[in-house]
């Protein structure tokens, strides 16, 4: 299975990266920890998705489903937070905003489905129905998770300096290549709230 070998490659890459330093000292992880501090999150308690994966990769990345395993591996290999969403489950367009604190976020606690709300001012991805991912790239809503039957997906690659646009495009190209030749793709690069570039 291609996803398995890719996950194993990502695990090996993570072990090599972390052979001589702790994960929080990696430049891309440090940038996200600083961003989390900036909107009041505690990065030791709520880790961005890249840091969480790197910490798990040393002992073994989770095996979830084909699409999720693929984007988790790309995230680790390119050191970029990367999320995948089932676009058919969206209500309206995705957007990155500061939460009011009233938006619903469907998640699970101790295996039971619950509705939570983000903190006021928290950076979240959302649509018209509520939060799709809390704390920018920390925890995804259950409603929009990718599954075995997903046919239309949205992948969000979040980048902060020192990641360059070129490195971000390289990560996106790797993801697209691994999705397969029959997948139709549209891409958009967004910076500081404005669309900078769009590719089909």
The tens digit of pLDDT for each residue in 59-72 reads 999 999 999 999 99
Task: Give the neighbor-by-neighbor strand order of the sheet with 123-127.
Answer: 95-98, 123-127, 130-134, 139-140
Q: What residues does 198 pair with on adjacent strands?
A: 188
What integer is the mean pLDDT of 29-42?
92
* Cβ count near 76 (within 10 Å): 25
The tens digit of pLDDT for each residue in 115-171 reads 999 999 999 999 999 999 999 999 999 999 999 999 999 999 999 999 999 999 999
Give the pair of three-digit tokens for residue 30.
């440090």
The pLDDT value recorded for residue 194 is: 55
Residue 4 has pLDDT above 90, yes or no: no
The pLDDT value recorded for residue 103 is: 97
The range of the structural domain enclosing residue 143 comes to: 2-199
Residue 1 has pLDDT above 70, yes or no: no
CATH of the domain at 174: 3.50.40
Percent of the chain with pLDDT over 70: 94
Q: In the chain, how many domains are there?
A: 1
pTM score over 0.85: yes
Are 106 and 143 a contacting pair, CB within 8 Å? yes
Q: Single out the residue of 96, 98, 69, 83 nearest to residue 10, CA to CA.
A: 69
By CB atoms closer than 10 A (0-12, 13-18, 19+), residue 47 is buried
């Amino acid at each position: 299975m291609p996803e398995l070998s890719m996950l194993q490659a990502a695990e090996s890459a993570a072990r090599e990266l972390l052979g001589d330093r702790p994960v929080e000292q990696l430049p891309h992880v440090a940038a996200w920890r600083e961003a989390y501090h900036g909107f009041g999150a505690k990065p030791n308690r709520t880790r961005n998705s890249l840091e969480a994966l790197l910490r798990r990769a040393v002992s073994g990345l989770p095996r979830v489903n084909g699409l999720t395993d693929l984007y988790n591996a790309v995230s680790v290999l390119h050191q970029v937070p990367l999320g995948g969403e089932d676009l058919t489950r969206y209500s309206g367009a995705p957007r990155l905003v500061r939460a009011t604190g009233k938006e619903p976020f469907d998640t699970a606690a101790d295996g039971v489905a619950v509705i939570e709300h983000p903190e006021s001012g928290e950076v979240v991805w959302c649509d018209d129905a509520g939060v799709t991912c809390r704390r920018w790239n920390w925890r995804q809503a259950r409603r929009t998770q990718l599954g075995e039957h997903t046919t239309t997906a949205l992948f969000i690659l979040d980048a902060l300096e020192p990641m360059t646009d070129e490195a971000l495009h390289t990560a996106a190209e790797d993801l697209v290549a691994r999705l397969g030749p029959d997948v139709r793709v549209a891409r958009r690069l967004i910076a500081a709230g404005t669309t900078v570039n769009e590719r089909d």
